Amino acid sequence: MNIEAYKKLLEECNAKKVTLVAVSKTKPVADILALYNLGQRDFGENYVQELIEKEKQLPKDIRWHFIGHLQSNKIKQIISFVHLIHGVDSYKLLKEINKQAEKLNILSNCLLQIHIAQEETKFGLDENELKTIIGLVNEADDEMKLKHINIAGLMGMASFTDNMAQVRNEFKYLKSLQKRYSTKQFHLPFLSMGMTADYTIAIEEGSNMIRVGSLIFGERESQ
């Protein structure tokens, strides 16, 4: 772990009103607790099973961010305690989250994941799909309303490349979507973009939530 790097990053985030999500995937509970003891509360995980195991062992006031690709059949395992689901990329998934949240009578906070990278492999919606989902959510009659979902913003991952001009353009594009689709009635306050390699650019382009792992916890073994 790199506590000095964490403190520096936290200071920068505080100064710029950016939420720092410490991505603890693959890292042991002891590391999370060490950071918790420094005051960190937002942690990100991308595997349901791993998240469940960690949640059991750690303090209950941790805000868990699910940043992976969530499968419908696993929603109910994490929905009761997860703070924010970052990677929602279909209306079907949104409906399923709503259904499970309804059973518990809770409000589930979600971000819509947008495909901004050049790579084929990254998940996410394109602009048309985003527009469709927002339309469905806003225009639904009372019966169809997803009353247990709060769409709190957008999330995206830039291309894995050394071409920082390209990364910047991808973040600019995501920011522009946030602006375009936020209205008085329909807010998209959170913009989750930026990781270890590109968080500086992400913040410059308007991110207010970064997801940083290896800078804080050190490199991961490949999963």
Ligand X SMILES: *Cc1c(COP(=O)(O)O)cnc(C)c1O
The residue within the footprint of ligand X, chosen from 51, 67, 78, 101 (CB under 6 A), is 67
The residue within the footprint of ligand X, chosen from 188, 195, 203, 209 (CB under 6 A), is 195
For 192, half-sphere exposure in the C-beta direction (CA atoms, 13 angstrom radius) is 28
Nearest distance, CB of residue 36 and ligand X, angstroms:
18
* Span of 48-56, 115-123, 126-134, 191-199 interacting with ligand X by CB under 6 A: 191-199
**23 scored as a contact of ligand X (CB under 6 A):** yes
C-beta contacts of 194-198 below 8 A and 24+ residues apart: 195/23, 195/157, 197/160, 198/158, 198/164, 198/167, 198/171
The residue within the footprint of ligand X, chosen from 46, 100, 108, 109 (CB under 6 A), is 46
C-beta contacts of 7-14 below 8 A and 24+ residues apart: 7/38, 9/199, 9/212, 9/215, 9/216, 10/40, 12/203, 13/210
Q: What angle do CA 24, 29, 35 make, to 5 degrees?
A: 65
**203 scored as a contact of ligand X (CB under 6 A):** no
* Span of 5-13, 48-56, 104-112, 190-198 interacting with ligand X by CB under 6 A: 190-198
d(CA 57, CA 65): 16
d(CA 26, CA 46): 9
8: which strand partners?
none
Nearest distance, CB of residue 221 and ligand X, angstroms:
12
Give whichever of 16 and 103 is closer to ligand X, judged by the CB atom. Answer: 16
**27 scored as a contact of ligand X (CB under 6 A):** no
**212 scored as a contact of ligand X (CB under 6 A):** yes
153: which strand partners?
111, 190
Nearest distance, CB of residue 85 and ligand X, angstroms:
12
Rounded to 10 deg, the angle between the 29-36 and 48-57 helix axes is 60
Give whichever of 68 and 151 is closer to ligand X, judged by the CB atom. Answer: 68
d(CA 148, CA 20): 26
**25 scored as a contact of ligand X (CB under 6 A):** yes
The residue within the footprint of ligand X, chosen from 90, 169, 182, 214 (CB under 6 A), is 214
* Span of 93-101, 127-135, 174-182, 212-220 interacting with ligand X by CB under 6 A: 212-220
d(CA 35, CA 56): 17
The residue within the footprint of ligand X, chosen from 123, 161, 196, 206 (CB under 6 A), is 196
Interface ranges with ligand X (CB under 6 A): 23, 25, 46, 67, 157, 195-197, 211-215
